[in-house]
Amino acid sequence: MVFGTGRLFDNNEGPNVKLSFDGFRLIAEGSRARLDLFAVKSVENNLGFFDDVPNHAETLLGSYLTVPAPIVSRGQADFYYIGVDTKSATYNRGTAHEVRYTVGTRVFRPVGKGLDYNWEPNFQWGSFGSASIRAWSVSTETGFTLDRARFHPRPLLRADVYSGDGNPANQPFGTFNPLFPVAHTLPPRWSLSSGRRTSSICIRRFNFTSGLTSPEPSPGSGAGGNQRTTEYMLLEVKLLLIRPTPAARYLGTQGDLEIRWSPAPHIIMAFNFAGFKPGSFFNTLTDNAGPIAANVDFTYRF
């Protein structure tokens, strides 16, 4: 199950074990619109063969609608609702029963000639134990393909902002939950440990990607142009419950380089290089050196 560009829902196929769900999904699709309705449970990945079972402590249900939105030509929009009931969820406030609802929209124009964009605001509410939930995020990606230049380069800018938690004594629970994101889109659970009343703002990266390969389709949305990077951010998953330096808000600076080439149909080759320089948020850690990672990737799709 992949919706939109995977900011909240992605199967993370690639270096990760593919994320799967058991349940029901209804898809209605016409020439101009598509509607997904689902009620599922995430699947536990056990060590043996044919022994993966549903996680009965977590239930999801929701809907995802894609329709034309001609702000400019080829524009589209997604509207979604996702409900998650987790029997035991852990945050800096502790462990409790969580019921969280997410509504949002994604306005986008696939990668092609000229301007493309992918902007997605959403809002979350519900309960965590006895506390109410009030959280939100805004994620943006804006690019421009220089179609007349050699290799069709596409500079782009991503900017994301997520709410953090405030004073638990008199504030609703403000931590944004990214649910099941593709690893390169949202910092995995970073916002869970921000512990700040103010939001965490990250200018994620400024990429300069080449048009050597055709845009990949975005599964579940019927749209093309999802420029996906290899999931080097697996290095940062372990930051789940780190407590920040008092008043520290700056997570750090991150950069990445990706070169992709499709020498033949069904084949994609890629080289990725990424680094992260920790900010004041991680000053209390003994081992706070920034990770640097590189990899070569070969994909054959059939």
Work out the number of other CB atoms within 10 angstroms of the CB of residue 211. Answer: 17
The pLDDT assigned to 230 comes to 28
Amino acid 170: pLDDT: 73
Q: Give domain limits for the chain.
A: 21-300
pLDDT for residue 220: 33
User: What backbone torsions phi and psi does residue 235 show, to the nearest 5 degrees?
Assistant: -65, -20
**Alpha-carbon Rg for the chain in angstroms:** 20
Residue-level pLDDT at 247: 63
Q: Is the pTM of this model over 0.75?
A: no
Q: Which helix (H) or strand (E) holds 211?
A: none
Q: Can you give the length of the chain in residues?
A: 302
Domain 21-300 indexed as CATH 3.40.50.1260: no
Residue 287's alpha-carbon distances to 90, 158, 250, 291, in angstroms, are 23, 28, 17, 11
Pick out the chain residues at pLDDT < 50. 185-241
Per-residue pLDDT at 15? 58
pLDDT of residue 64: 96
Task: Return the pLDDT at 212.
Answer: 39
Could you please report the per-residue DSSP string of 133-188? EEEEEEEEEEEEE-TTSTT--EEEEEEEEE-----TTTS-B------B--TTTS-T
